[in-house]
Amino acid sequence: MKPEFGLEFVTCNLCESDKVLPFMTATDWFSQDDGQFSIVKCKECGLIYVNPRPHPDHMNLYYGEKYYTHGKAKTRETVSRRQQSAGLKKIAKSALLAHVQKDNNSQNKILNQMTGAVLLALFRNKIISRQRWGLVGKKGTLLDVGCGNGSFILGIHNDWLLDGKIKGVGTDIDSAAVDEAKNNEIDASIADSGTLPYQDRSFDIITMKHSLEHMHNPLKTLREAWRVTKDGGYIIIEVPNIESLGPRLFRDKWSAIDAPRHLYHFNPATLSLLVSKAGFDIEDIYKWKGSYKRDLTLKNLNKEWEKRNFSRLQKILLNKAYSIGLILIELIYRGGAISIRARKN
């Protein structure tokens, strides 16, 4: 049961203005009580955020073990089983790099080019993300801020493209999520993103994969990330894109609205301004093709249809129609997520 108290009004985290416009009223589709929250847009800089919002002391009431980042992660054994043998990994990586880098001097050039093209088609998003994030061929230490159950770090440790050369640790404010990460032998600790328990210049890479939108003070979080990043190191951030087609078509039923857990909603401009204000130099910004968590959007839509007492046949037909629509969105450039890579110089 959520408290009726504990909401706080805040100014814009980016420009500190208190001048806002209504953006939408959003239902908390994850909970059972269907609470509603106001989402506003700053008149000065365009940042979109929940206001008023739950106080940090009450935020844990809006999560639970069923929340998708807090449940059980794939076990280390499951991830390992999905990896190819050492020999196959070496062949696949060689073929892929030969294709991507147009390496005309490699042995078996034609075979590598063909195999690499197939691999790129099958694992396009994963391969592009590792390349754009600068992780391929990289060695060093990584901190995942807002690591949840540790699944991202586990994936990095077992990624055949990375050869296990990146060693990751994680922090999260949720103790149950940290316990789940530790169950999979991830070095994770409970910590507030604004006061990280590390020395200055501790990490080569900082990652925030769909976590910055959950933070009560994203600017403070980014400045703290800058502090613990080594000189020449960089930060990788991925967040939902509020300018994508999802929120235009589905409004608060779009899975990435996720009120009130997603406290902030970014577009490329506001995210870039925030990252730059924290002291980083932006090197790359990319809009991912694809709909953000299609299954959760459909789940939210189904809850609305149940409220309207739609028949089983109506719900089946609507599910099919919306599934096709969400797949079509994946073919459009303005994708459901944005990623930024920025360096500390």
Position 72 scores a pLDDT of 62
Domains of the chain: 132-344 (3.40.50.150)
Q: Work out the pLDDT band at 70, boundaries 50, 70, 90.
A: low
What is the distance between the terminal CA atoms of the chain, rounded to a whole angstrom? Answer: 47
Distance CA 256, CA 164 (A): 31
Is the pLDDT reported for residue 145 higher than 90?
yes
DSSP letters for 216-284: S-HHHHHHHHHHHEEEEEEEEEEEEBTTSHHHHHHGGGSTTT-TTT--EEB-HHHHHHHHHHTTPEEEE
> Which residues are 144's β-sheet partners?
170, 207
Distance CA 104, CA 329 (A): 36
Quote the pTM value. 0.76
Of residues 151 and 75, the one with the higher pLDDT is 151
Question: In terms of Cα–Cα distance, which of 195, 183, 79, 75 is closest to 145?
Answer: 195
What is the tens place of the pLDDT at every residue in 160-171?
Answer: 667 778 899 999
Q: Work out the pLDDT band at 246, boundaries 50, 70, 90.
A: confident
Quick one: average pLDDT of 239-251? 85
What is the tens place of the pLDDT at every residue in 106-116?
Answer: 555 555 555 55
Distance CA 33, CA 4 (A): 11
